[in-house]
Structure 1
């Protein structure tokens, strides 16, 4: 059996699904360590997994990372984390945490790839990608970070090629510095990418092929496994006030923007929009404060913090949310139709897929959020049964998949093949 280290960076939705893979690997007899930032220590340890801290050790509320006291710490500002200085800062945290950590392979989430791939090379061990959205070139669609766009077959591949060139160029300096610090020879970004492609490095995608099928023009080694489901702590109990609200009437609608940070400065405006839309809607609703800290009231409205979606979503009638990969998967698993309010990253991609699959009546870009748009979406979701019917049919296919099991089989096969060389 192998000792495997998973490096996970991002929001809760980026980290939590990877724990499903970690637990299944452990159950298969492997030794597993999960490295993540301090916000996710409890998430990892409550799942019974070994935790390694990447970056600063700061105590705080995971539901409001912007409330952390960072005074006295040498940190990169949040709006610069996607800049080269931010990638260098994040990568340094990964290298400090894992440079001396024994491992037979590194399993890397997307943000960790720039430093993690260099560390795997320095250790002489394989790296395996763990992604929750598609990034590789295909004629079928552009990389998911382009949102809900579609440029046609040739245009989609050109968009992917441009994106690869852009990020290779943007992060060329920090990657070179990681390689220097690890004693690795100089290599151009283009050469490093070509080496990964030629070696057909394994990248596993933790979403359902029923939602976004594996493109036929992807190279070998790019695999779509099915969803990975975040574990729920064994001792978790729902808040009593939430249980009482749910029991007091018919299933409510859900509104929440999760860990979206785009538009965070418009918190008061977005809260007022949601508040007015729900007042005019008149039905029962759950509002999740999220990282945007939505502040909404009303006799038929109950505000919640972080609640496991696998428990909550089967108890709601419909949802309006940001269409992040994790929240989207939880909605589909429960057969819940939803309207998307995408604000960043891959959210627009999943919003488009939901419309194409007929489980969503509308996409409302966060920047254009309005009372009328929210109200129209709420009414469509709660009066047109076709959305729920299609969501239920899709859920019946998704629950038959074993995403984490498929991922474990692929990881073990790759390690076995490498060991024979």
Structure 2
């Protein structure tokens, strides 16, 4: 069987979609290994994929692809850049360890692609980009890390080129180290990136044009194929406690912040419970990295706290979803056909929050920084009321879900892989 190495790094949302990709490729007859962090080994193996370790703790240092900032880093751009560069340096060594002489194709996430290009060159094998967020400059929108505010077509393209140069700078040290280890001649990240662009290096983007149409000014080889969903067992069910809670009353509102807001679980849990009660709706809080919980809210029988639960199973049973608008959670909300209350924290999240609101399936974004005190309770409660009462958002959300149901993102990956392997 053809041997494929798929690499992904970062938080759960940065990694989990690739388990669905890997499972689809395995079903098509490929031998697939997913290289990622130790924390996701159970998820990778459950999907039937071989696991190889990439170093670095995703809770301590986040990806440097522009989609996330290192968690817990001191304020200031230089400090963030140093932390991100250290993450990438460590990641580069792990990438070299993960690739072996039997690898016939590299599949690279946005975080791992600037390192994977060197592995492909050293081993003389093809590679394919599998990105969850758009990176190529375009006049249609500003880079995702800019917060979703357009600067006009010329300004958007200029800022897009600048963002690539920032990424090149982050990978400079790791590139020198990795190329020396692989016995390759020196080359800067910018040089390697431009070579790939000039050669028409193919990149598939795992999001839906329902939310973000493919820019008309992108070069050939940059395609939007639809979402890649995290793998879960075909017979998977919600935990009994969740099923019982859903059956005990009207559809609840989901509230979760994924890998964001570390250490703020008690404060956020209390605020969320108060907002839910003010809006007159039940709720399910997902603990996530924040440790979100209703345990400190007295008499919170109308609120359930859960751990890791597949969004694909839970979201369709909710009245609305409140989340940070990471790319994966954004897509899961659309797929479920329920309205969203966007609470973006950082990086690409304001971009996706703005896209949801513009599509009419979400309330106006409520920045995470506004979730403080009595004002934060009032703002969240108001957004919950808007999301759960008016029919227009529900209608548009259901229409979006119907469009997503016609897409086959992992099938598009499988077809592209077959073409690359046969060429």
Tell me what 2:142 maps to. 142
Separation (CA, whole Å) in 1 of partners of 2:334 and 2:84:
34
Secondary structure of 1:111's match?
coil
Q: What is the rounded CA distance, in whole Å, between the counterparts of 1:188 and 1:240 in structure 2?
A: 54
The question of 1:91 aligning with 2:92 is answered yes
Secondary structure at the residue paired with 1:348? helix
Conservation of the 8 A alpha-carbon contact between 2:282 and 2:302? yes
Structure-2 residue corresponding to 1:215: 215
User: Which shows bigger deviation, 241-250 or 18-27?
Assistant: 18-27
Deviation at residue 126 of structure 1 after TM alignment:
1.5
1:82–1:112 CA distance, 2 compared to 1 (3 A) = farther
Deviation of 1:275 after TM superposition, in Å, equals 2.7
> Aligned partners of 2:154, 2:273: CA distance in 1, in Å?
44
User: SS state of the match for residue 133, structure 2?
Assistant: coil
Residue of structure 2 equivalent to 1:69: none
Question: 3-state DSSP class of the match of 2:243?
Answer: helix
Q: Which residue does the alignment assign to 2:184?
A: 184
Q: Between Structure 1 and Structure 2, how many residues are aligned?
A: 399
Which residue of the partner structure matches residue 315 of structure 2?
313
Matched, 1:354 2:360: no
8 Å contact from structure 2 (residues 114, 189) kept in 1: no
- Change in Cα spacing, 1:101 to 1:364, as seen in structure 2 (3 Å) is farther
CA contact (8 A) 1:321 1:341 kept: yes
CA offset at residue 276 of structure 1? 2.1
Partner of 2:274: 276
- Shift of the alpha carbon at 1:259? 1.6
Q: Is the 8 A contact 1:282 1:300 kept in 2?
A: no
Post-superposition offset of 1:273? 2.1
Q: CA deviation at 1:149?
A: 1.8
**Alpha-carbon distance, 1:131 to partner:** 0.8
1:338 alignment partner in structure 2: 340
Q: Report the counterpart of residue 408 of structure 1 in structure 2.
A: 414
Q: Give the structure 1 partner of residue 18 of structure 2.
A: 18
Question: 1:234 deviation in Å?
Answer: 4.5
Q: How many angstroms does 1:115 deviate by?
A: 2.1
Residues 97 and 414 (structure 1 numbering): CA distance in 2 closer, same or farther, change over 3 Å?
closer
Q: Tell me the residue number matched to 1:251.
A: 251
Q: Once the 2 structures are TM-superposed, how far is the Cα of residue 82 of structure 1 from its aligned partner?
A: 4.7
Could you tell me which runs of 5 or more consecutive residues in structure 1 were left unpaired when the two chains were aligned: 67-75
Query: TM-score scaled by structure 1?
Result: 0.90
In 1, Cα distance between the equivalents of 2:103 and 2:228?
23
Deviation digits for residues 88-118 of structure 1, max 9, x if unmatched? 01222222232x2521111011121232221
Deviates more, 1:38-47 or 1:294-303: 294-303
Q: Distance in 2 between matches of 1:268 and 1:19?
A: 32
Match of 2:194 in 1: 194
Q: Secondary structure at 2:111's aligned position in 1?
A: helix
SS in 1 for 2:34: strand
Cα gap change, 1:393 to 1:235, in 2 (>3 Å): closer
C-alpha distance in 1 between matches for 2:309 and 2:271: 23
SS in 1 for 2:35: strand
Counterparts of 2:71 and 2:175, CA distance in 1: 20
Maintained 8 Å contact 2:2/2:30: yes
TM-score normalized by the length of structure 2? 0.90
Tell me the distance in 1 between the aligned counterparts of 2:34 and 2:84: 25
Mark the runs of 5 or more structure 2 residues left unpaired by the alignment: 61-69, 74-79
Q: Which residue of 1 aligns with 2:283?
A: 285
Distance between the aligned counterparts of 1:124 and 1:21, measured in 2? Answer: 23
Partner deviation per Cα, 1:221-249 (whole Å, 9 max, x = no partner): 11101111111135644222111111101
> In 2, Cα distance between the equivalents of 1:166 and 1:77?
19
